[in-house]
A = this chain, B = another copy of it.
Amino acid sequence: MTLKSDTRGKILDAASRLFQKQGYHATGLNEIIKVSGAPKGSLYYHFPAGKEELALEAIKLVSKIIQQNIETGLSKIEDPAQSIQSFIKELASHIQCDHFSVSLLALETSCISETLREACDQAFESWIATYANKLIQGGFDKEKAQTLARVIQLMVEGALTISTAKKETTTLFIVAEQIPILLKQ
């Protein structure tokens, strides 16, 4: 999987970063090619269906990577509330330079492509499920865990949006502070 010519991987890597940062419509295929260093001919060789296929693979990729990030992040501390709070703080300080989020892609693609919209939805759901699992392991009722996990994910996404609008990084810390209160119910 890692040894297949790597050109595909370079394209996918550049695409996933550019799509997250600038959005679907704002990033052209030319830009992806330029940033990735790959030749334009090979883009359509590796992604015959063009931009939409590339975006789909990019979304799936970041979905998986972030899911793993959340999972390993939460595994460091046993107590759910503490681990989630610490993970969000970690996220906040990690984000400092560049602002990424799939919110942008989700909002953009909901109008133009069912496929991409569903991919974004599934990304969100997989992250929610990861939070929910941690809560269930910590003794939360299953249904309550799923609701709270959804609220956590939506807070993170909302905080990232407001952070990019403000060009700052503190909003996620505010969210982190609310986690214990939220989970005390």
Residue numbers of A with Cβ under 8 A of B are 21-23, 25-26, 99, 101, 103-104, 106-108, 110-112, 117, 120-121, 124, 147, 150-151, 153-159, 161-162, 164-167, 171, 174-175, 178, 181-182, 185
> What is the oligomeric copy number?
2
Q: Tell me if B99 and A110 are in contact (CB < 8 A).
A: yes
Q: Tell me if A110 and B167 are in contact (CB < 8 A).
A: yes
A8 to chain B, nearest CB (A): 26
Minimum CB distance partner of A152 in chain B: B158
Interface of A is mostly: helix
Q: Can you offer 12 A-B residue contacts whose CB atoms are under 8 A?
A: A21-B111, A25-B26, A103-B103, A106-B162, A106-B165, A107-B164, A117-B167, A150-B162, A153-B162, A154-B174, A178-B182, A181-B181
Among A121, A165, A178, A181: residue with most chain B CB under 10 A: A165
Q: Which residues of B contact A99 (CB under 8 A)?
A: 110
Given contacts A108-B26, A111-B22, contact A157 B167 (CB under 8 A): no
A-B complex: 7 closest residue pairs judged by Cβ atoms: A158-B158, A154-B158, A25-B25, A104-B107, A106-B165, A157-B158, A121-B165
B25, B26, B162, B181: which contacts A154 (Cβ < 8 A)?
A: B162
